[in-house]
Amino acid sequence: MPATLTLTIPDEVLERLQRRAAAEGKSPEILAAEDLEKAQPPEPGNFFRKWAGSLQFTASDVAERHDHYPGQALHEELTVC
Please, how many CA atoms are within 13 Å of residue 56, restricted to the half-sphere of its CB?
0
pLDDT of residue 46: 67
Residue 26 lies in a domain: yes
Q: Do residues 10 and 3 lie in contact, with contact meaning Cβ atoms separated by under 8 Å?
A: no
Q: Is residue 20 part of a domain?
A: yes
Residue 38 lies inside a defined structural domain of this protein: yes
Residue 2 lies in a domain: no
- Report yes or no on 27 lying in a domain: yes
Residue 54 inside a domain? The answer is no
Contact 31, 17 (CB under 8 A): yes
pLDDT at 71: 79
14 within a domain of the structure (yes/no):
yes
Higher pLDDT residue, 77 or 57? 77
- Segment holding 22, helix H or strand E: helix 11-24
Q: How many domains does the chain have?
A: 1
Under a CB-based contact definition with an 8 Å cutoff, are residues 14 and 28 in contact?
yes
Position 57 scores a pLDDT of 65
pLDDT tens digits, 13-69: 999 999 999 999 999 999 999 999 888 876 676 666 777 777 776 777 777 877 777
Query: What pLDDT is attached to residue 31?
Result: 94
Distance of CA 79 to the CA centre of its chain: 36
Range of the domain at 38: 10-42
Whether 3 is covered by a domain: the verdict is: no
